[in-house]
Amino acid sequence: MTGADPGVTKAIETFASFLLESGRELTGIPVAYRAWGRLNAAADNAVVVCHALTGNVDVDDWWAGLLGPGRALDTDRYFVVCANVLGSPYGTASPLSEDPATGRAYGADFPVATVRDSVALHRRLLERLGVRQVAFTIGGSMGGMQALEWAFEGDFVRAIVPIGVGGRHSAWCIAWSEAQRHAIYSDPAWRGGRYVPGQGPDAGLATARMMAMVSYRSYASFEARFGRSAAEGEDGPAGFAIESYLRHQGEKLVERFDANCYVRLTQKMDTHDVSRGRGGYHDVLGRIEQPALIVGIDTDVLYPLAEQRELAQRLPRAQLAVLEAEHGHDSFLIELDQLNDIVASWRRGVVDRDR
């Protein structure tokens, strides 16, 4: 399906089969994607944008400040593609998809797919679209994991931009993931993931989102925005404003997401380790040959700046840029002007120069 703008495409491609790292084979796999701009004659001007945990392919919604002519993701110069990951409810195979073997939604039977699985599947998508080489990959958080994993596709990818992430999921991050999953598991409506669609663990999913939002922001961000101010109810003050904000964030996610998908995606993130099966961690980082822009956030408590410094020190052709903002991890979705300037400047000096 093509959008009103002839340079914008939104579609789903289906693949007959796909073998996961686990050895499980999926069949009839849909992959949703959007694309902006045009593939050039050499088919080597693709830019792959990788979305975060609860994100989708609508880059023009969540990264509008980076997408478009003259911006970091210059649609006059590049063919910009964003594909939905395995396990997400936005069009690619997930717990909500129909299992061809049963004719019913996979639900809890949908397997854990790794970050590598999504990258491998997305490479097949790009090749079907005619892409011969990717100029650079870019993404934040779970998207940063994918951007980094793309480096292991060899000459197919010329450069990478991982944002707000490390080379492997830390015990700290796994702990946050498991605590959120446990909130879902503890909801009586969870039923081992075998709930009736529309009757799932809404309270558990909302609680998981509330917990996540705390990890995505910072002390300074919450203090500046909320402090100890009261929330206003119909009959006057109704608790603290921060409480109301977190409840609202939980309710919003329940309206658009699925608990089984959330569980599988957080498990996907926990698989993130670029050295798994490849050798010693530092040795593997040292074998990444592509130029890399590593972007860290100075107030990130989930993926601390020390993780990005490590990547910048260990990757042979990396440079570190620090996004200075009070909003914590989510700053890569908030401080778009600053992030656009950082990425655009690097792209012009490194990627464009190589063309």
Q: Give one word for 151, left, alpha or beta, with left for phi > 0 and alpha for psi -120 to 50.
A: alpha
Determine whether 272 is an active site residue: no
Task: Return the SS3 of 257.
Answer: coil
Annotate 108-154 with DSSP letters as a single string.
Answer: GGSPPPPHHHHHHHHHHHHHHTT---EEEEEEETHHHHHHHHGGGGG
Residue 352: Cβ within 10 Å count: 14
Q: Residue 2: its pLDDT value, please?
A: 43
Quote the percentage of the chain above a pLDDT of 70: 96
Band (235; pLDDT cuts 50, 70, 90): low
Cross-strand pairs, 30: 14
Determine the pLDDT at residue 87. 98
Please say if 141 is a catalytic residue: yes
Could you tell me what percent of the chain has a pLDDT over 90? 93
Per the CB < 8 A criterion, the answer to whether 255 and 245 are in contact is: no
For residue 181, give the nearest of 298, 276, 262 by alpha carbon: 262
Query: How many angstroms from the chain centroid is the CA of residue 43?
Result: 25
**CA atoms of 17 and 27, how far apart (whole Å):** 4
Alpha helix ranges (H) inside the chain: 59-62, 115-128, 142-149, 171-185, 202-216, 219-225, 241-256, 259-270, 281-286, 305-314, 336-346
pLDDT exceeds cutoff 50 at 278: yes
Query: In terms of Cα–Cα distance, which of 180, 181, 257 is closest to 213?
Result: 180
Q: Which long-range contacts (CB under 8 A, 24 or more apart) does 283-288 make?
A: 284/167, 285/167, 285/311, 285/314, 285/315, 286/314, 286/315, 286/316, 288/151, 288/152, 288/160, 288/315, 288/316, 288/317
Q: Does domain 8-172+273-354 have CATH number 1.10.760.10?
A: no
pLDDT in tens, 84-138: 999 999 999 999 999 999 999 999 999 999 999 999 999 999 999 999 999 999 9
Distance CA 93, CA 84 (A): 9
- Asked whether the domain spanning 178-269 has the same topology as the one spanning 8-172+273-354, the reply is no
Q: State yes or no: pLDDT of 233 exceeds 80.
A: no
- Catalytic: which of 118, 218, 329, 331? 329
Indicate which residue of 88, 97, 118, 141 is catalytic.
Answer: 141
**Measuring CA to CA, how many Å separate 8 from each of 3, 39, 274?**
6, 12, 33
Q: Tell me which residue has tokens 């970091």.
A: 72
pLDDT at 6 over 70: no
Sign for the pseudo-dihedral over CA of 77, 81, 82, 85:
negative
Cα-to-chain-centroid distance, residue 327:
18
Decide if 97 is catalytic.
no
Pick the catalytic residue: 187, 300, 327, 331?
300
The answer to whether residue 355 scores a pLDDT higher than 80 is no
Could you give the CA distance from residue 111 to residue 87 in angstroms, rounded to a whole number?
Answer: 9
Q: Which CATH class is domain 178-269?
A: mainly alpha
pLDDT tens for residues 301-340?
999 999 999 999 999 999 999 999 999 999 999 999 999 9
Report pLDDT digits (tens) over 44-98.
Answer: 999 999 999 999 999 999 999 999 999 999 999 999 999 999 999 999 999 999 9
Domain boundaries, the chain: 8-172+273-354, 178-269
Question: Does residue 104 contact residue 12 with C-beta atoms inside 8 Å?
Answer: no
**In the predicted model, what is the mean pLDDT of the chain?**
95
Which pair of tokens denotes residue 86?
């395995």
Tens digits of per-residue pLDDT, 191-214?
Answer: 999 998 889 999 999 999 999 999
- pLDDT of residue 231 exceeding 90, the answer is no
